[in-house]
Amino acid sequence: MISCSRTGDFRFIGRALSAPRNIHTAFEDTDKQKYDDDGNEMILDNPYQISHYHVNMAAFLKLAEYFEMLKKEGVYDNTRIIIVSDHGRDIGDNIMPYVDYTNDDGEDASIDTCWFDCALMVKDFGSTGFNENSIFTTNADTVALAIENLIDSGKNPFTGNDIITMAEYNKELEIVYPKGESDYSVEINNGNVFIPAYWLSVDSNIYEANKWHYLGFH
């Protein structure tokens, strides 16, 4: 857990959701319109979108402080850092495809696959600069990335199976989308199988609509 003696700790990040004006940098003064590296303008039209921008910005600012501390202590270059999220968020930026389906009430509906576009960033030993790739990867690859070239043969302690990446798995990925918010709770959704939910699959490029398929409610 990252913390510090000043006001800005993880509690500060939480406050950004209800009071995004607390996150203020020189960038906010000079760049009222915000764009990604490809020149696409970020959509910040409502409090839901704005709060997610600011809470992520707060996290990045705290991570930057952590990285500077590692550099100051002389351990940044020999540290492998992995930043990963548990899921994405449907903030209505229309970057990801929508998957149409009929819910169990017989109504037409759609799922914004941005829910499944997780953050995954890796800083390896001695690496410099930034780059990105389109290798089909999931947040479940975190363990394999963490032990890469450090452990000869990593095993899942629960199944005994080899720890591999999605690229090595080389199969279509199946994704579960719970019916309601309560279905995310481990007090309800536990055991050896998922409770009934909407299922989707995706193969290779998650940004192409034809790679997504609705598998049904089961």
Note whether 82 and 146 are within 8 A (CB).
yes
C-alpha span between 65 and 68 (Å, rounded): 5
Range scoring the smallest mean pLDDT among 21-25, 64-68, 188-192:
21-25
To which residue do tokens 């590296």 refer? Answer: 37
Q: What is the 3-state secondary structure (H, E, C) of 25-81?
A: CHHHHHCCCCECCCCCECCCCCHHHHHHHHHHHHHHHHHHHHHHHHHHCCCCCCCCE
Range scoring the smallest mean pLDDT among 5-19, 31-45, 65-79, 133-147:
5-19
C-alpha span between 185 and 194 (Å, rounded): 11
More confidently predicted of 5 and 200: 200
- Judged against a pLDDT cut of 60, whether residue 85 lies above it is answered with yes
Looking at residue 131, what is its pLDDT?
86
More confidently predicted of 36 and 109: 109
Note whether 155 and 161 are within 8 A (CB).
yes
Q: Would the pTM of this model clear 0.85, i.e. be above it?
A: no
For Cα atoms 141, 209, 107, give the angle at the middle one, nearest 5 degrees.
105
Looking at residue 120, what is its pLDDT?
92
Looking at residue 100, what is its pLDDT?
92
Give the closest residue to 112 by CA, choosing from 50, 65, 175: 175
- Judged against a pLDDT cut of 90, whether residue 68 lies above it is answered with yes
DSSP 13: H
More confidently predicted of 71 and 89: 71
Note whether 147 and 155 are within 8 A (CB).
no
Looking at residue 52, what is its pLDDT?
85
Looking at residue 7, what is its pLDDT?
39
Looking at residue 12, what is its pLDDT?
36
Instruction: Report the mean per-residue pLDDT for the chain.
Output: 81
- Judged against a pLDDT cut of 50, whether residue 206 lies above it is answered with yes
Q: What mean pLDDT comes out for the span 43-54?
A: 83
More confidently predicted of 150 and 4: 150
Residues contacting 38, CB < 8 A, separation 6+: none
Looking at residue 31, what is its pLDDT?
60
More confidently predicted of 34 and 10: 34
Maximum separation of any 2 CA atoms in the chain, in Å = 60
- Judged against a pLDDT cut of 50, whether residue 13 lies above it is answered with no
Give the closest residue to 119 by CA, choosing from 91, 147, 89: 89
Looking at residue 32, what is its pLDDT?
60
Q: Which pLDDT band, with edges at 50, 70 and 90, does 141 fall under?
A: very high
